[in-house]
C-alpha cells in the first residue's frame, strides 16, 4: 500500500532524480551485505565439495550448483519484480538463500555430498537477487547516467565481497568455539549479512523503483525523460551473449582456482592454504567490482560495445597469464585479478546495453533471461572445468576457455550500431544538461 500511495501522483523530474539517488544508495548498501554473505561461499565451496565427494574432479559442482540455482530463480524473481516490484523480489531472494546456508552447514555435519549441492543451489537465489540489484539501479536512470548508476551498485559489492573471504579464518575460530562442523564457521557471517540485507530491502526501498518507473513511463514521453524506448532485439541478444560468455569464462577459472592453489601449497598447513585461497579470491573479487564505476563511465562516454571489447582484452590476458604462470601462486593471483576486471567491463557494459536495447515492455523479462542464461553458462562451465582440470590441468583449462572470448569479439558487430546510437544520445543529453 505505501508504494501505491507514493506513486498515485507521478513525481516531478527532480523528485524522480532524488528517488533514484536514494535507491542507488540503498542498493549499494544491500550489495555490500550481499557480497559479504557470498564471499565465504565462493572461498569454501570448491574445497567443501572436494572434501565431501573425495574427488577434486567434482569440486566444480559447488560453483555449478550455485550458478544453476541462480539460473532457476532468476526468471521467477524477475517475474515477481515485474508484477510486485524490486523490493519483494530482492527480499525473497535473500530469504530463500538463508535456507540454503542452513542446508550447507547440515550437509557438512552429516557428510552428505548431495545435500551440500542442494544447499549451494538454494543459496543461488541470493546471488540472483544480487544480480538483479544492478538492473534495479537502472529502473529510474537516464541514458546519460545509466552505466554509471548501474556500475556504482556493482562497485558496492567490493566492500563485502573482499572482506568476506578474509573472514574465513576468524569465522572458523568462532565456529569451533560454538561447536559448528569444521569449515562452516564463516557461514555465521553469511547468515548475519543476509538477515541485515532482508531488513534493508524490506524497509528502505520505498517507493519501489520499478513500480515507480512503470508509472513514470506511462505518463511521461520518453524524450522528456532521456530514456530509450526503441526495441533492438539483435543488440539485446548480443548483450545477453557477451555477459553470459564473460561469466562462463570467469566461473570456469575461478571455480578451479582454490583446488589448484591447494595443490600448489601442498605441504603447508591448512590455515596457510586457506589464507592464500582467501587472499586470492578477495583480490579476484576486488577486480570484479572495484573498478566497475570506471567501466560504467567508460560505457557512457565511448559506448557499450567498445567497453565490452576492453573486457575481452582483459579476459584474454587473464587466461594467458593463468596458462603460462600456472606453477606460481603470484601469477595465478594476477590472472584472477585480470579475470575479475575483464568480467567487470563486460558485464557492466553488457547489462547497460541490454537495458537500453529493450523496450519498457521487454526489459524486465529480458533481464531475467540474461541472468538465467549467464547462470546456466557459468554452471555448465564449472562442471566442465572440473573434468578439463583433471584431464589437461589448470593451464590447459585456461586455453580452452579462450573460445568464449573469441566468440564475443567476433559477434561484437551485432551490438555495435545500437551502442553507437546510445552513446550519441548520451552525449547529447550530457551537453543539454550541462
pLDDT for the residue 185: 79
Q: What is the spatial distance between Cα 139 and Cα 93, in angstroms, rounded to a whole number?
A: 19
- How far is Cα of residue 369 from the mean position of the Cα atoms in its chain? 14
Written as nine digits, the cell of 257 is 582456482
Sequence-ordered list of residues with C-beta below 8 angstroms from that of 359, at least 6 positions apart, any chain:
229, 230, 231
Q: What is the spatial distance between Cα 182 and Cα 47, in angstroms, rounded to a whole number?
A: 12
3-state DSSP assignment of residue 268? strand
pLDDT for the residue 218: 74
Q: Which long-range contacts (CB under 8 A, 24 or more apart) does 168-175 make?
A: 168/40, 168/43, 168/44, 168/274, 168/277, 168/278, 169/271, 169/274, 169/275, 169/278, 171/40, 172/274
Q: What is the spatial distance between Cα 129 and Cα 154, in angstroms, rounded to a whole number?
A: 12
Integer CA distances (angstroms), 267 to 227, 272, 278, 287, 326, in order: 58, 10, 18, 29, 18
Written as nine digits, the cell of 185 is 564457521
Integer CA distances (angstroms), 217 to 51, 140, 212, 401, in order: 52, 10, 9, 41
Written as nine digits, the cell of 274 is 586457506
What residues does 189 pair with on adjacent strands?
A: none
Q: What is the spatial distance between Cα 84 and Cα 221, in angstroms, rounded to a whole number?
A: 24
CATH of 2-211+228-428, one of 3.90.199.10, 3.30.470.10, 1.10.340.30, 1.20.1250.20: 1.20.1250.20
Written as nine digits, the cell of 158 is 567490493
Give domain limits for the chain: 2-211+228-428
pLDDT for the residue 402: 94
Sequence-ordered list of residues with C-beta below 8 angstroms from that of 111, at least 6 positions apart, any chain:
52
Mean pLDDT by 10 residues, the chain (434 residues): 51 86 92 77 77 79 82 92 93 94 92 93 91 89 84 82 72 81 81 91 92 80 50 90 94 83 66 71 82 90 92 96 87 92 94 87 89 86 81 87 94 73 47 42
Please say whether the beta carbons of 46 and 259 come within 8 A.
Answer: yes
Amino acid at each position: 500500500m505505501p508504494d501505491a500511495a507514493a506513486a498515485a501522483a507521478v513525481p516531478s523530474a527532480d523528485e524522480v532524480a532524488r528517488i533514484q539517488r536514494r535507491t542507488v544508495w540503498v542498493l549499494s548498501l544491500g550489495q555490500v551485505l550481499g557480497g559479504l554473505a557470498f564471499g565465504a561461499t565462493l572461498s569454501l565451496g570448491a574445497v567443501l565439495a572436494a572434501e565431501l565427494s573425495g574427488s577434486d574432479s567434482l569440486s566444480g559442482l559447488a560453483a555449478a550448483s550455485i550458478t544453476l540455482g541462480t539460473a532457476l530463480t532468476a526468471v521467477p524473481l524477475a517475474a515477481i519484480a515485474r508484477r510486485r516490484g524490486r523490493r519483494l523480489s530482492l527480499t525473497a531472494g535473500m530469504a530463500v538463500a538463508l535456507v540454503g546456508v542452513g542446508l550447507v552447514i547440515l550437509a557438512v555435519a552429516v557428510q552428505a555430498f548431495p545435500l551440500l549441492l542442494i544447499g549451494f543451489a538454494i543459496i543461488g537465489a541470493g546471488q540472483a537477487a544480487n544480480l538483479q540489484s544492478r538492473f534495479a539501479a537502472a529502473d529510474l536512470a537516464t541514458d546519460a547516467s545509466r552505466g554509471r548508476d548501474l556500475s556504482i551498485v556493482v562497485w558496492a559489492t567490493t566492500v563485502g565481497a573482499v572482506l568476506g573471504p578474509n573472514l574465513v579464518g576468524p569465522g572458523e575460530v568462532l565456529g569451533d568455539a560454538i561447536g559448528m562442523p569444521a569449515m562452516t564457521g564463516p557461514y555465521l557471517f553469511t547468515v548475519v549479512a543476509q538477515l541485515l540485507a532482508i531488513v534493508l530491502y524490506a524497509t528502505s526501498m520505498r517507493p519501489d523503483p520499478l513500480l515507480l518507473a512503470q508509472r513514470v513511463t506511462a505518463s511521461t514521453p520518453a524524450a522528456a525523460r532521456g530514456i530509450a524506448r526503441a526495441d533492438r532485439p539483435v543488440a539485446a541478444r548480443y548483450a545477453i551473449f557477451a555477459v553470459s560468455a564473460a561469466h562462463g569464462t570467469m566461473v570456469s577459472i575461478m571455480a578451479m582456482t582454490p583446488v589448484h592453489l591447494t595443490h600448489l601449497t601442498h605441504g603447508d598447513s591448512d590455515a596457510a592454504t586457506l589464507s592464500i585461497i582467501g587472499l586470492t579470491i578477495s583480490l579476484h573479487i576486488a577486480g570484479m567490482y572495484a573498478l566497475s564505476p570506471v567501466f560504467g563511465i567508460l560505457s557512457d562516454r565511448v559506448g557499450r560495445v567498445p567497453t565490452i571489447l576492453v573486457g575481452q582484452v582483459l579476459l584474454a590476458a587473464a587466461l594467458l597469464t593463468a596458462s603460462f604462470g600456472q606453477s606460481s601462486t603470484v601469477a595465478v593471483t594476477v590472472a584472477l585479478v585480470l579475470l575479475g576486471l575483464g568480467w567487470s567491463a563486460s558485464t557492466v557494459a553488457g547489462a547497460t546495453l541490454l537495458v537500453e536495447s529493450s523496450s519498457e515492455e521487454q526489459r524486465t523479462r529480458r533481464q531475467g533471461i540474461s541472468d538465467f542464461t549467464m547462470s546456466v553458462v557459468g554452471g555448465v562451465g564449472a562442471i566442465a572445468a572440473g573434468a578439463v582440470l583433471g584431464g589437461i590441468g589448470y593451464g590447459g583449462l585456461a586455453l580452452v576457455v579462450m573460445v568464449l572470448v573469441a566468440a564475443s569479439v567476433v559477434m561484437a558487430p551485432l551490438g555495435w550500431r545500437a551502442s553507437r546510437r546510445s552513446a550519441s544520445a548520451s552525449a547529447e543529453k550530457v551537453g543539454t544538461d550541462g
